[in-house]
Chains A and B, each alone.
Chain A
Amino acid sequence: MASSGAPRGRLWTWLDERIGLADIEKLARKKQIPVHRHSLWYYFGGMTLFLFVVQVATGILLLLYYRPSAEEAYESVQFLMAEVQFGWLIRSIHAWSANLMIFALFVHMFSVLLLKAYRRPREVTWFSGVGLLGLALGFGFTGYLLPWNELSYFATKVGTEITGAVPVAGAFLLRLLRGGDEVTGATLTRFYGIHVAILPAITTALLGLHLFLVQKHGMSVPPSVERRGEGGRTTPFVPNFLLRDIVGWLSALAVLAALAAFLPTELGKKADPFTPAPVGIKPEWYFMFMFQTLKYLPAHILGIEGEVVGILGFGLGGVALLLVPLLDRRAARGESSRLFSAAGIALILYMLLLTYLGYTVSPTK
């Protein structure tokens, strides 16, 4: 199997004969990254992956102390933060890395959307990516409840109540998600199982598919670059691009460490179902634009409850996002598709504006 000219050690030869190192090496050396004015955006997929690895590592560490029940969850996190050496650091990195991962994921998704990288033959890569976005939001939503504090309790109450607005199957889905009619310890245990077992299992499969497809098809060159005839230049993935990737990852790690050290994640007050929802209650920032939209919707729109209209709207928006590669016929033909670029930019602006309002408008107005 070994075909490369350079002499190798005996261990390398031994391994090569058994697992085919030379083939892997050949594959790695073959991978090329296009170089053009938009190459910067190629880094964000790898960045998301790196932060996901941080999540897996810190998540496994948190499992060793966390206790998933309404009676013990809050106390176990309190113990972790106050007593366990570096417990505050591990938890803060987990929380911050989750936020940065979702941010990197959004940047990655919008860059793919605006550079039309979803064009044939990469439709399935896009579908799996949208699926991974959904899973990441699911991780965020289920993980938020686990410390069992006041904010997370009411955020979960609202968030799960939203599934109840789904036509026909709503009530059933609500019970399935909550493990009962109300948000209780049963919900906490269920979210724990979803967060640490079900979502990781699905993510592993979908991420495997996504990465396989990225390797299979290589990086997409944006149609605007192709039309200008600038698509020719490339750089090897190993080592040139990978080393730059690693610089990005180390920078992210430095930012994470700084955030965790200077702005450690707070725990807040223990959840109590018999207190009013606290003033200024808000979800994680990546749900904020939806939360704020729900605040502005009137009680009834055309005779339907406002929240139902809003939730159906978000559902349809998600489906439209998933189906972009099939809807955008012009990009599929390699032509410019201004409509989809404009829609993408409008979506970004809408999310930014509503998120901004969510953090600045007085909660009592």
Chain B
Amino acid sequence: MEHTLGGPDATRRGVIGWLLGTSAVAFALSVIYPMARYLIPPTAGESQAASVTLPIKPAEVRLNSGQIFKFGNRPGILVRTPAGDLRAFSAVCTHLNCTVQYRADLSHIWCACHNGHFDLNGQNVAGPPPRALDAYVVNVRGAQIVVSKGA
């Protein structure tokens, strides 16, 4: 025993050091993992509605005007063109998610945040937006306006 003290002792120290090190890492992980998971919000149920009946009557929508409506939990914009057509688009600007509005003076859709312009087909025509607004289908059933996502 006396002659081999160095060997087994060094090994023993190594094993204890290894155990201590791995326990420390395991402990740290067991603390960090739940915290990290806790910070990630649970996925909320996205609204699955494919269509929505607006609380607006067709007769109330003036020529050359637009208004925001709720489509699930996101805003949409209903537009009556100067020619009299009813059209609906997602009101979420494709640039940085601001809510767009109808500019009667320009007769098209405009985003105030970064000066993005969209025409009456939702096409991005000027400013920074990279894509067109998503278009919805508008159906007038009697005194009701029903907006639905395209096929």
Interface positions of A (Cβ within 8 A of B)? 154, 157-158, 161-162, 175-176, 178-182, 186, 273-281, 291, 294-295, 297-300, 305-307, 363-365
A158→B96 contact, CB < 8 A: yes
A297→B128 contact, CB < 8 A: yes
Q: How far is the CA of A291 from the CA of B113 in the complex (A)?
A: 9
B115→A364 contact, CB < 8 A: yes
Nearest chain A residue, comparing its CB with the CB of B106: A364
B115→A277 contact, CB < 8 A: no
What are 13 inter-chain pairs, A to B, with CB distance below 8 A?
A175-B41, A181-B46, A274-B68, A274-B69, A276-B101, A276-B112, A277-B93, A280-B112, A281-B113, A295-B127, A298-B128, A299-B128, A307-B95
B99→A154 contact, CB < 8 A: yes
Q: How far is the CA of A298 from the CA of B115 in the complex (A)?
A: 11
B98 part of interface (Cβ distance < 8 Å): yes
B130 part of interface (Cβ distance < 8 Å): yes
- A157 in complex: contacting residue of B91, B98, B130, CB < 8 Å: B98
Q: Mark B92-124, 1 if CB is under 8 A from A, else 0.
A: 010111111100000000111111000000001
| A276 contacts across to B, CB distance below 8 A | 68, 77, 91, 99-101, 112
Given A158-B98, A176-B40, A277-B99, A299 contacting B130 (CB threshold 8 A): yes
- A277 in complex: contacting residue of B73, B74, B112, B127, CB < 8 Å: B112
B41→A179 contact, CB < 8 A: yes
Which 10 residue pairs are nearest across A and B when measured between Cβ atoms? Answer: A276-B101, A277-B98, A161-B96, A161-B97, A277-B112, A158-B96, A305-B130, A299-B130, A179-B41, A295-B114
Interface positions of B (Cβ within 8 A of A)? 39-41, 44, 46, 68-70, 73-75, 77, 91, 93, 95-101, 110-115, 124, 127-130
Additional 13 contacts, C-beta under 8 A, given A175-B41, A273-B75: A157-B96, A161-B96, A176-B40, A180-B44, A182-B74, A274-B68, A274-B70, A276-B100, A278-B112, A281-B98, A298-B128, A299-B129, A364-B110
| A305 contacts across to B, CB distance below 8 A | 130
| B40 contacts across to A, CB distance below 8 A | 175-176
- Scoring A158, A274, A298, A364 by chain B CB atoms within 10 A of each residue's CB, the highest score goes to A274
- B112 in complex: contacting residue of A176, A273, A279, A365, CB < 8 Å: A279
Chain A facing B: main interface SS:
loop
| A279 contacts across to B, CB distance below 8 A | 112
Given A274-B68, A274-B70, A363 contacting B115 (CB threshold 8 A): yes
Chain B facing A: main interface SS:
loop
A280 CB to nearest B CB, Å? 7
- B128 in complex: contacting residue of A157, A275, A307, CB < 8 Å: A307
Nearest chain B residue, comparing its CB with the CB of A183: B97
B55 CB to nearest A CB, Å? 12
Nearest chain B residue, comparing its CB with the CB of A276: B101
A295→B128 contact, CB < 8 A: yes
Q: How far is the CA of A154 from the CA of B115 in the complex (A)?
A: 14
| B129 contacts across to A, CB distance below 8 A | 299
| B124 contacts across to A, CB distance below 8 A | 299
Q: How far is the CA of A87 from the CA of B93 in the complex (A)?
A: 37
Q: How far is the CA of A154 from the CA of B97 in the complex (A)?
A: 9
- Scoring B40, B74, B96 by chain A CB atoms within 10 A of each residue's CB, the highest score goes to B96
B131 CB to nearest A CB, Å? 8
A182→B73 contact, CB < 8 A: yes
- B115 in complex: contacting residue of A182, A186, A295, CB < 8 Å: A295
Nearest chain A residue, comparing its CB with the CB of B110: A364
- Scoring B95, B99, B113 by chain A CB atoms within 10 A of each residue's CB, the highest score goes to B113
Nearest chain A residue, comparing its CB with the CB of B129: A299
- A154 in complex: contacting residue of B70, B74, B98, B130, CB < 8 Å: B98
Nearest chain A residue, comparing its CB with the CB of B102: A276
A277→B128 contact, CB < 8 A: no
| B39 contacts across to A, CB distance below 8 A | 176
Q: How far is the CA of A300 from the CA of B73 in the complex (A)?
A: 29
Q: How far is the CA of A89 from the CA of B68 in the complex (A)?
A: 37
A117 CB to nearest B CB, Å? 37
B128→A158 contact, CB < 8 A: no
Nearest chain B residue, comparing its CB with the CB of A159: B96
A197 CB to nearest B CB, Å? 13
B44→A157 contact, CB < 8 A: no
B70→A277 contact, CB < 8 A: no
Nearest chain B residue, comparing its CB with the CB of A297: B128
- B130 in complex: contacting residue of A300, A363, A364, A365, CB < 8 Å: A300
Nearest chain A residue, comparing its CB with the CB of B117: A364
